[in-house]
Amino acid sequence: MQTKLDARSATPLYLQLEALLREALAAQTWKAGEALPPERALAEQFGVSRLTLRKALERLEAQGLVRRRQGSGTYVAPRLEQPLSLLTGFSEDMRARGLEPGTRWLKRGLFTATPEEVLALSLSPGEKVARLERVRSAQGEPVAVERAALPAHRLPQPEQVQDSLYAYLEARGLRPARALQRLRAVAASRQEAELLGLRSGEPLLYIERLSYLADGSVLEFTRSHYRGDRYDFVAELLGKQ
């Protein structure tokens, strides 16, 4: 255990400081999510310049131990959050797997809602929905057929969506807070088989997703058919207390 800094030591000050701070963090000196003292105070407390302290903090930030927000403060990083079971769209999902996503549009516009869409999106009969239908691919290979429907007032100009629907929505302040997904195995219909380059009857992973905004309203109703041989869905479950 290192208790203080030694300016004459061969190891640079900022490395000694980094070790000191790491110990303090491990010792729960500050609770998770709580802010550390400001840089200027910490620097004075340890008797070093602010830039030296910042060098140590930068290394701790790179290691994921603290988070810094300009204008706000430096915070103890929250406990390891679930990298899985986070809500992502296809494009993001594929990039996370190191694959390049692609899109071939089948339909993109405003249509009258089907009874199923009326039910899922809590609309009034006859209301319009923005419908986005496309074949999604990874590394040029078709992977899934995706049919998304949103209330028309959420997406008045669906033809503006380019690649990632979620990125487009995010840019307009529409960020889903949670989603419910139902997964089932189904046999490929003739149409789906053709779009995905399979024979009909081959197994597909059918995923039905309802995304909700923070206020509880439904943002998106999406039905996707993924090739069984090209796609894994990963879920993390938590035990009961």
Partner DNA sequence: AGCTATTATACCACTTGCATACCATTATAG
Partner DNA sequence: CTATAATGGTATGCAAGTGGTATAATAGCT
**Does residue 193 contact residue 202 with C-beta atoms inside 8 Å?**
yes
Residue 25 interacts with a copy of itself (CB under 8 A): yes or no = no
**Three-class SS of residue 11?**
coil
**Three-class SS of residue 163?**
coil
Residue 121 interacts with DNA (CB under 7 A): yes or no = no
Residue 145 interacts with DNA (CB under 7 A): yes or no = no
Which residues are CB-neighbours of 96 under 8 A, at least 6 positions away?
Answer: 88
Residue keyed to tokens 């869409």: 117
Site string for DNA, 72-111 (x = CB under 7 A): xxx-------------------------------------
Residue 49 interacts with DNA (CB under 7 A): yes or no = yes
Query: Contact with DNA (CB under 7 A): which of 22, 55, 95, 108?
Result: 55
Residue 181 interacts with a copy of itself (CB under 8 A): yes or no = yes
Site string for DNA, 3-42 (x = CB under 7 A): ----x--x-xxxx-------------------xx-xxxx-
Residue 185 interacts with a copy of itself (CB under 8 A): yes or no = yes
Angle formed at CA 109 by CA 106 and CA 115, multiple of 5 degrees: 95
Exposure string for 84-120, b = 16+ CB within 10 A, e = fewer: eeeeebbbebbeeeebebbbeeeeeeeeebeeebbeb
Give the count of residues interacting with a copy of itself (CB under 8 A): 61
Residue keyed to tokens 């990298």: 83
How far apart (Å, rounded) are the C-alpha atoms in residues 188 and 205?
A: 9
**Partner that binds at residue 219, options a copy of itself, DNA, none, CB closer than 5 to 8 Å by kind:** none
Torsion from C-alpha of 230, 85, 131, 228, nearest 10 degrees: 20
How far apart (Å, rounded) are the C-alpha atoms in residues 241 and 233?
A: 25
Q: What are phi and psi of 14, to 5 degrees?
A: -65, -25
Residue number, 140 or 215, with CB nearest to a copy of itself: 215
**Partner that binds at residue 51, options a copy of itself, DNA, none, CB closer than 5 to 8 Å by kind:** DNA
Query: Contact with a copy of itself (CB under 8 A): which of 72, 79, 115, 126?
Result: 72
| 150 residue type, one letter | L
Minimum distance from residue 35 beta carbon to DNA (Å) = 7
User: Using CB under 8 A, which of the segments 3-11, 111-119, 123-131, 136-144 binds a copy of itself?
Assistant: 3-11
> Which residues would be at the binding site for DNA (CB under 7 A)?
7, 10, 12-15, 35-36, 38-41, 47-52, 54-55, 57, 68-74
> Which residues would be at the binding site for a copy of itself (CB under 8 A)?
9-12, 15, 19, 33-38, 61-64, 67-68, 72-73, 75, 77, 81, 84-87, 175-187, 201-206, 214-216, 226, 228, 231-240
